[in-house]
Amino acid sequence: MAILGAKTFQNYIDGEWVDAASGETFESTSPANGDAIGVFPRSSAADVERAVAAAKHAYEDWRLVPAPKRGELLFRFAHLLSEQKEDLAQLMAHEMGKVLPEARGDVQEAIDMAYYMGGEGRRLFGQTTPSELRDKFNMSVRQPIGVVGVITPWNFPIAIPSWKMLPALVCGNTVVFKPATDTPTLGERFVELLVEAGVSAGVVNIVHGGGGEVGNALVQHPDVPVISLTGSRETGVEVTKTGADRLKHIHLELGGKNAIIVLDDANLDLAVDGIIWSAFGTSGQRCTAASRVIAHEAVYDKLVARLVAEAEKMQLGYGWEDETDVGPVINQAALDKIHSYTEIGKDEGATLLTGGEVASGNGLEKGYYYRPTVFGDVDPQMRIAQEEIFGPTTAVIKVRDVDQAIEVSNGIKYGLSSSIFTQDVNRAFRAMRDLKAGITYINAGTIGAEVHLPFGGVKDTGNGHREAGQAALDFFTEWKSIYVDYSGKLQKAQIDT
Ligand code: UN1
């Protein structure tokens, strides 16, 4: 693909492309090779102020647009995304680093969400129910809430904005979107396509810039009653505290420390494939990545040997090249953090079985590449088995039986995804019931959620809300209960019987 050559981009506020009020900018570069991708406005509270005012104004009309019409806009958006799928995937391989098949999957996830939420325009079902009184009609309807602040990460730069913005829009809310500063071009493309699909002025606004300035201003703003954030646990806590004074509705999708359990009766070939895909896909930079493997002692040695052999076969390189299995990680800070966990693991007494180093040679030194890393002899309490690393590192823990496997899987502060490989239906059902996670896979890795099921986790992974699926509608609407009394007289509930 033709690299963009540091083209300058703008915010989109109230239907116009505009610079930041301050005139300041920041640059987006490729984690693969340092190439310049684009220059973006470094916005501040003043820009957020304008965007929120526009979104607030636009809400008064958008909420009245019939929901099936709002849905049609999403169908047009789905169509445009499909047309642009390859270009967006190429751009993603350059700006974010993931390999092309995964980049295409990221865009596909947004296409799926656009069709799914487009269809919700003709549903958004409420309930009708009998009244306890004569000649009275009861129903509940979903109502939009207002301006939604959308704060997204860089690891799914097209999919995650779609999870948040598309349900928000079909429900009748307007949006101010702050994409991650590592992937602003993809955020910008997303909005460009929404504009092309016909979104009217103020309904969707994008404000580029950092969390400290733009994110904070959004969370503090009194006219933004809803915030949806995917990010770190620390940011989630901050956002919750900041939004608390205004009783904001806050949806949080935070970290994970997901485990794959491999029991003694597992199909080992399948388990190895599932682990490699879940631990090293997207260079381990998924909230759902398998950063722990919990292996039954009867298969531990064999499994570890197979994992090491497969990890060593993986080819690091540019995401846009066919032979690449593992692309770069997002930036220098991520590379440093990932490597620091290798040091921590060694200091804790785990055995570094493969990887554990920054990769260079063949131009890799121009980007941020880390070798797929497997630790063995890991104790469940070690930091490498407890803390989110967000890189291509997985920790293998040995257990004696299914009870201990489930206990170890649950023995972390997070609860996003989980997985078990077993041929035994009884053990599978126990895992479905007892794994404390928002997602459980049977005989599949920890990644690969589909858009029409709720996505999110328990414990420190979130705050009880879910995105995607029907659950998304619950977050982006409020219920109104309506009572229509057509008796022509005063009827008192609970009193007139
Ligand atoms: C994330 O890492 O935040 O299930 C999202 C998956 C993807 C989404 C991951 N469909 O891995």
What DSSP element (H or E) covers 369?
Answer: none
The CATH number assigned to the domain with range 258-442 reads 3.40.309.10
The full set of domain ranges for the chain reads 11-254+462-481, 258-442
pLDDT above 80: residue 50: yes
pLDDT above 60: residue 146: yes
Nearest ligand 1 atom to alpha carbon 448: 4
| Confidence grade of residue 285 (pLDDT, cut at 50, 70, 90) | very high
pLDDT at residue 472 in the model:
97
Structure tokens at 352: 């570094």
Distance 288 CA to ligand 1 centre (A): 6
Distance 159 CA to ligand 1 centre (A): 9
Of 351, 341, 340, nearest in space to 379 by CA: 351
Torsion of CA 319, 320, 324, 329, to 10 degrees: -10
| Confidence grade of residue 4 (pLDDT, cut at 50, 70, 90) | low
* Edge-to-edge strand list for the sheet holding 7-8: 7-8, 36-41, 25-29
Nearest ligand 1 atom to alpha carbon 253: 3
pLDDT above 80: residue 240: yes
pLDDT above 80: residue 5: no
pLDDT above 60: residue 25: yes
pLDDT at residue 3 in the model:
53
The CATH number assigned to the domain with range 11-254+462-481 reads 3.40.605.10
Residue 257 identity (one-letter amino acid): K
Mean pLDDT taken over the chain: 97
pLDDT at residue 497 in the model:
78
* pLDDT tens sequence across 107-117: 999 999 999 99
Ramachandran class of 390: left when φ > 0, alpha when ψ lies in -120 to 50, beta otherwise: left
Among 288, 329, 446, residue to substitute to test ligand 1 (most atoms within 8 Å of Cβ): 288
| Confidence grade of residue 1 (pLDDT, cut at 50, 70, 90) | very low
Which amino acid residue places its CA nearest to atom 3 of ligand 1? 287
Nearest ligand 1 atom to alpha carbon 153: 3
pLDDT at residue 184 in the model:
98
Q: Which residue has the tokens 């989109």?
A: 12
In the chain, what percentage of residues exceed pLDDT 70? Answer: 99
pTM, rounded to two decimals: 0.97
User: Cα(320)–Cα(245) distance, rounded to whole angstroms?
Assistant: 46
pLDDT at residue 6 in the model:
72
Of 377, 386, 394, 383, nearest in space to 412 by CA: 386
Distance 488 CA to ligand 1 centre (A): 55
Which residues lie with the beta carbon below 6 Å from any ligand 1 atom?
109, 155-156, 230, 286-288, 447-449
Overall average pLDDT of the 369-392 stretch: 98
Tell me the catalytic residues: 253, 287
**Contact at 8 Å (CB) between 204 and 177?**
yes
Overall average pLDDT of the 346-354 stretch: 98
Distance 286 CA to ligand 1 centre (A): 6
Max Cα-Cα span within the chain: 84
- Side-chain-facing half-sphere of 265: CA atoms under 13 Å: 9
* pLDDT tens sequence across 291-341: 999 999 999 999 999 999 999 999 999 999 999 999 999 999 999 999 999
